[in-house]
């Protein structure tokens, strides 16, 4: 049986788009399944629904030069 390879689209600063259906095996061995036509797999680890992307990466703001820690990721003007 000749099956074509799965196509994965890489998006700079975004998720991996994978033609489904897919099974994702996490670090702990847990298997998560999606039967959707295309799925977005989170690569930034900000998603609240891992391994799937929930677009949390869009809330990230650029840090000012010289900033330390995750302060630039808050998305507000808190010092």
Q: Where are the domains of the chain?
A: 8-58
Integer Cα distance of 15 and 22 in angstroms:
15
Integer Cα distance of 15 and 41 in angstroms:
5
24 with 41: CB under 8 angstroms? yes
Q: How far is CA 77 from CA 24, 32, 63, 65, in A?
A: 37, 37, 11, 15
Q: What is the pLDDT of residues 3-62, one digit of tens each?
A: 778 899 998 888 999 998 999 999 999 999 999 999 999 998 889 999 999 988 887 655
Q: What is the pLDDT of residues 56-79, one digit of tens each?
A: 888 765 555 554 444 444 444 433
- Which residue in 42, 49, 38 sits closest to 13, CA to CA? 42
Q: Is 59 helix (H, G, I), strand (E, B) or coil?
A: helix
């Amino acid at each position: 049986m000749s099956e074509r390879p799965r196509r994965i689209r890489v998006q700079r600063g975004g998720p991996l788009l994978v033609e489904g259906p897919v099974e994702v095996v996490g670090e702990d061995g847990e298997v998560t399944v999606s039967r959707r036509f295309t799925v977005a797999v989170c690569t930034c680890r900000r998603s609240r629904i891992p391994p799937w992307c929930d677009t949390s990466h869009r809330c990230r703001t650029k840090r000012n030069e010289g900033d330390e820690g995750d302060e630039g990721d808050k998305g507000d003007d808190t010092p």
